[in-house]
Structure 1
Amino acid sequence: MRGGVRRTGAGRRGLRTAIGAALLLAASVAAAVAALYPREARRFMAEEDFRRYPGAGVLMCRTEEGVPERAAAAWLIGDRGLVVLNAHNFVDRKLRPTHPIDDCTFFIGEKEYFFETESLRFGFSRDAKALNITDDWALVRLREPVDAAIAPQPIPDGPMPPTGVGTLRVVMVSPAGHSNFRRATSIEECQIRQIDAPTEAGIRRARHDCNDGYGGSGSGVFADDGRLIAMHSASLDMNSRRDFDMERHFGMALLFEGELLDAIRANLRADAR
């Protein structure tokens, strides 16, 4: 199950895609208000949370009727003009275009900002045949920088968790909320349970037990010290309310490392020239 694209008109035009055969859309109407796990520890984001986790924004996309709706989380990162979010907002798992970025905007600080569409860069390579968790990222610049009062999320820096099985306490920050949560935003203390081996791009997948729902794609995963370490991408068996299972029922995020981190730094250097 794709880990967070909200089931709106925008979703009906392609945002409901999933990564791999195991991530099939199967949520029922009855499950629409259920959490991913029996434990429910999410709460509404307070003003203090937005100060602690700056850059938290929302990808807004128009439905088939032209109505703007929340689609996923997105982050202003590094400076006041760069946004990072999931690639699956715009392509399906076979990399076919599903939703034009021209129909979307970035919402932060009670204002909407337009994207510089030509700057959109995806994490998958040109010869890729499918979208994987670890290349499910995109970078795009805004036409105009956000207001000076809005602080971007700092570039992820410092040590990343080691590869392997282990418990790491984290906070998932979901500025776009979840369709199965009754508030517009969500924040939750949860855990990363395993870090998989890196791909050729030097990016690893984190298996976590954080609750999720449609709209939660792009949620930031933060370490105890407030550092952004990963971005949520997908979940298995959405809304099933079953206990975490390392092989069959877990959330997936990609760590900010390898080509993703290199691309963020290169984009900021190029814009500073």
Structure 2
Amino acid sequence: MRNAAATSAERIHRNAHLQPAPPTSGARAQCGVAELRGRMPSRARLRGTALTCAWSASLRSLLLAAALSLLVASAAAQTGPIDARQAKTIPASDFAGGAGAEAAVNPLLAPLRRPAWSPHIDDSVSPALRFRLVDAYQLALGAVRTRPTCGALFRRLGAVGEESLAHTVYRGGGEVGACLRPVPAFTCVGCPQTVLCPTFLRLGTSAGATILIHEALHFAGLKERPTHPGEMSAAEITAMVKTSCHL
């Protein structure tokens, strides 16, 4: 009996070495494979362990994909579907006829527009005469704006000095017609065009402004002799402009 008991105890002790050890943490237990003590594991056990690791990795991938899908679905539910009726469009008024389009186009067209202080000059005016005209025009426009007695010359005729100057079209006369006489410019009563002669180039800015106001008064309706007997002469009108407009 003692021998049988000893044999059983020895067998139990020997089998205890073959039992798998509990899994450990860290690098000693990976993919759920427990460290085996004693003998090396069989090929079948190793194959089964490899299959277990592969299945665990696949399961983790599936779980991760499912979690990401749930997150995306939740975000889409919070945002809501895109409704075409909520999409904002640029109104047509912003492209044509609207305030936005006008504000965008005005800076581009500004250089092409004639400023208020710039005379309306015909292409027949030479470049040299053009520069002299611009200087004289600015002085004349300032005089009718700031000198009450100067503006009064036009008001007596039922006109506005600034408008008479702004609506005048200046043309180049050359050495023909009335420009053959020693006159710097000429026009007719009520005519919107003033012809500038080459003599205008020899005038200073103040004298040129006086002539422009003189001719603008004719445009406003002022008559002159000898064409209209009993009216002031050209020299008298020029003297009146110089005094009233402080030129």
Taking structure 1 as the reference length, the TM-score comes to: 0.24
Higher relative strand content? 1
Greater Rg over alpha carbons, structure: 2
Higher relative contact order (CA 8 A, sep 6+): 1
Taking structure 2 as the reference length, the TM-score comes to: 0.25
